[in-house]
Amino acid sequence: MDQQKRIFGNELKYLEEVLNTEFRSSKGSAMMQRLERAFAERFNTNYAISFINGTATMHAVLEAIGIRPGDEVIVPPLTMSSTAFVVLQAGATPVFADVNESTFLIDAKSIENCVTKNTKAIITVSLYGLSPDMDAIMTLANKYNFFVLEDNAQCVLGRYKNRLVGTLGHAASYSFQSSKHLTSGEGGMIITNDLTLAENVRRICSLGYAGVGANKGKITKDDIQDPNYSRHIMLGWNYRLPELCSAVALAQLENIDYLVNTRVSVARLYLEALNGCEWLIPQFVGDDYESTYWAFTVKLENSKITWSDFRNKFRELGGDGIYAAWKLTYLEPMFETMSFLGREKFISHQTYAKGICPIAESLQPQLLQFKTNYWNENDALKQADCLKNTIKYFNTLEKEGVLL
pLDDT the model gives residue 28:
67
Residues 35, 50: Cα–Cα separation, whole Å: 8
pLDDT the model gives residue 322:
95
Residues 283, 155: Cα–Cα separation, whole Å: 14
How many domains, the chain?
2
The domain that contains 311 carries what CATH number? Answer: 3.90.1150.10
pLDDT the model gives residue 404:
55
Residues 386, 396: Cα–Cα separation, whole Å: 15
Whether residue 191 is found in the same domain as residue 222: yes
- 163 lies in which domain range? 11-255
Residues 216, 264: Cα–Cα separation, whole Å: 35
Whether residue 102 is found in the same domain as residue 116: yes
Whether residue 213 is found in the same domain as residue 306: no
Whether residue 123 is found in the same domain as residue 163: yes
Query: Domain for residue 37, yes or no?
Result: yes
Residues 177, 151: Cα–Cα separation, whole Å: 14
pLDDT the model gives residue 26:
65
| 186-196 b/e (C-beta count within 10 Å ≥ 16 → b) | bbbbbbbebee
Query: Domain for residue 230, yes or no?
Result: yes
The domain that contains 79 carries what CATH number? Answer: 3.40.640.10
- The answer to whether the CB of 341 falls within 8 A of the CB of 86 is no
Query: Domain for residue 3, yes or no?
Result: no
- The answer to whether the CB of 150 falls within 8 A of the CB of 163 is no
> Where does a domain end: 199, 233, 255?
255
Residues 330, 374: Cα–Cα separation, whole Å: 32
The Cβ-side half-sphere exposure at 121, using a 13 Å CA radius, reads 32
Whether residue 226 is found in the same domain as residue 308: no
Whether residue 42 is found in the same domain as residue 160: yes
Whether residue 237 is found in the same domain as residue 131: yes
Whether residue 93 is found in the same domain as residue 30: yes
Whether residue 299 is found in the same domain as residue 228: no
Whether residue 188 is found in the same domain as residue 250: yes
| Catalytic sites, residue numbers | 180
Query: Domain for residue 332, yes or no?
Result: no
> Where does a domain end: 206, 221, 255?
255
Helical spans, DSSP H, in 190-240 = 195-205, 221-224
Q: Which residues does the chain have with pLDDT short of 70?
A: 1-3, 26-28, 404
Phi, psi of 368 (to 5 degrees): -115, 120
Whether residue 78 is found in the same domain as residue 110: yes
> Where does a domain end: 214, 236, 255?
255
Pairing of strands 93-96, 72-75: parallel
The DSSP element (H or E) to which 21 belongs, if any, is: none
Residues 78, 83: Cα–Cα separation, whole Å: 10
Query: Domain for residue 355, yes or no?
Result: no
Query: Domain for residue 339, yes or no?
Result: no
Whether residue 202 is found in the same domain as residue 275: no
Residues 132, 97: Cα–Cα separation, whole Å: 13
Helical spans, DSSP H, in 168-255 = 195-205, 221-224, 243-254
Residues 287, 337: Cα–Cα separation, whole Å: 43
* Identity at 181, one-letter amino acid code: H
Helix, strand, coil tally for the chain in percent (to 5): 40, 15, 45
Query: Domain for residue 344, yes or no?
Result: no
SS3 state at 252: helix
Query: Domain for residue 2, yes or no?
Result: no
* Identity at 309, one-letter amino acid code: D
Pairing of strands 171-175, 47-51: unpaired
**377-399 helix and 256-273 helix, angle to the nearest 10 degrees:** 20
Q: What's this model's pTM, rounded to 2 decimal places? A: 0.95
pLDDT the model gives residue 62:
98
Nearest Cα to 203, choosing from 246, 247, 170, 240?
A: 240
